[in-house]
Copies of this chain bind each other. A is one copy, B any other.
C-alpha cells in the first residue's frame, strides 16, 4: 500500500495518467517509444497496480475462492494443491474457506462472497442431496462461474469435476469378492450425497453380478464423529454374523476399521478383507498394508481450476455444463 501510484509515474514522465495506463496495458494506441519509457520507469519504481482500484473499475478481479469441508485430509489437501498450481501459474489469488461439514457455515461463506470479492468459485459441498438453494441463489445474484468437484450437487446444472465412482467402486467390490469375501460390507456416510450414492450403486451392482444377495445390514452408516464411528463399527464386528469384507468409501472409515479390527483381534485379511477409498500416503505402511481406491485428487483440483479460469476469462459459457470425469486408481496390497 506504500508503493508508487500511476499518477506519480505520469507526473514524472510528463504524460497523462491515461497514457500511462494504456502503455502498461500494452495498448496499440501508444507508441513503442512511449511504452518503453513507461515500462522502464515502472520497473525502476517497482510499480504495482493497486488491485482494489483496478478491480473496482473493471468490476472484476483475479481472485477466486475454494470452499471445502476440511483441509486435514489428504484428498482435499491434494485437491487444493492442484488448484493452487493452476491459479499460481495463471496469476490468480486463491481464497480458502473451510466448512467443517457445517451447512450453516457453508451458507455464511457463500453469502459473504456475494459482496463480489471474487470472480469465481470452486466448491466441494458439505451436505446431502437437498438444500442446494444457496448455490442457486448465489449464482442468481452474482452470475459468477462456479465449478463443483468431488462432492457435487447432482441435481443442479453446473460444471463439475468428479471421479468415476460407480465404475471404480464396482471394481473394488469385485476384487473383494474375488479375494474370497462372501459378505463384504460397505461403510458409507449418513449424508445422502451423490458421490456416496454412486459408490453404493457400484458396490451393489458388483454384488449382484457375482450372485451375492444384498441385504440392508450390509451397509454400515458412519458419521463425522470418529468416536461414534468406532462404537458403531465395534458393535457390528462383534456380532457372530459379521461382515468378512469392508469397502470403506471414505478415508477415515478405513482407519477406524483398522482400529476396530485390531482391538477385536480380527485378522486382516484373513478374517476381514479391506479396501479403503483413500489418498493416504501411509497406506502401504499400515499393518497390514492397506489396499486402496485412491482418487485423482491433484488432477481433480487442476481440472476444476482450469475450467473455472476458462469460464472467467472467456465470455462464452459453453463449458457451463461440462462434467469432467477422472479415473480412481485401485491399488491392491496386503489387506485383501
Residues of B within 8 A of A48 (CB): 114-116
A95-B97 in contact given A53-B56, A285-B258 (Cβ < 8 Å)? no
Q: Does A327 contact B (CB under 8 A)?
A: no
Q: Does A84 contact B (CB under 8 A)?
A: yes
Q: Does A190 contact B (CB under 8 A)?
A: no
A71-B72 in contact given A93-B95, A258-B285, A285-B255 (Cβ < 8 Å)? no
Q: Does A52 contact B (CB under 8 A)?
A: yes
Q: Does A233 contact B (CB under 8 A)?
A: no
Q: Which of A3-59 contact B (CB under 8 A)?
A: 3, 46, 48-53, 55-56, 59
Structural contact, B98 and A96, CB atoms closer than 8 A? no
Residues of B within 8 A of A112 (CB): 91
The smallest beta-carbon distance between A10 and chain B, in angstroms, is 18
Structural contact, A51 and B117, CB atoms closer than 8 A? yes
Structural contact, B59 and A56, CB atoms closer than 8 A? no
In-complex Cβ contact of A287 among B81, B141, B285 (8 A): B285
Residues of B within 8 A of A74 (CB): 72
Residues of B within 8 A of A88 (CB): 97-98, 105
Determine the distance from Cα of A111 to Cα of B47 in the docked complex, in whole angstroms: 11
A53 and chain B: residue at smallest CB distance: B56
Residue of A59, A71, A258, A288 with highest tally of chain B CB at under 10 A: A71
Number of A residues, CB within 8 Å of B: 57
SS class of chain A's interface: helix, strand, loop or mixed? mixed
Determine the distance from Cα of A55 to Cα of B50 in the docked complex, in whole angstroms: 10
Q: Does A143 contact B (CB under 8 A)?
A: yes
Q: Which of A92-143 contact B (CB under 8 A)?
A: 93-98, 105, 111-112, 114-117, 141-143
The smallest beta-carbon distance between A53 and chain B, in angstroms, is 5
A48 and chain B: residue at smallest CB distance: B115
Structural contact, B59 and A116, CB atoms closer than 8 A? no
Q: Which of A259-300 contact B (CB under 8 A)?
A: 259, 262, 280-282, 284-288
The smallest beta-carbon distance between A226 and chain B, in angstroms, is 9
A142-B286 in contact given A72-B78, A88-B97 (Cβ < 8 Å)? no
Q: Does A221 contact B (CB under 8 A)?
A: no
Given contacts A1-B60, A52-B55, A84-B96, 13 further A-B contacts (CB under 8 A): A1-B142, A3-B116, A3-B141, A46-B111, A48-B115, A48-B116, A51-B115, A52-B53, A94-B95, A94-B97, A255-B285, A259-B284, A282-B285
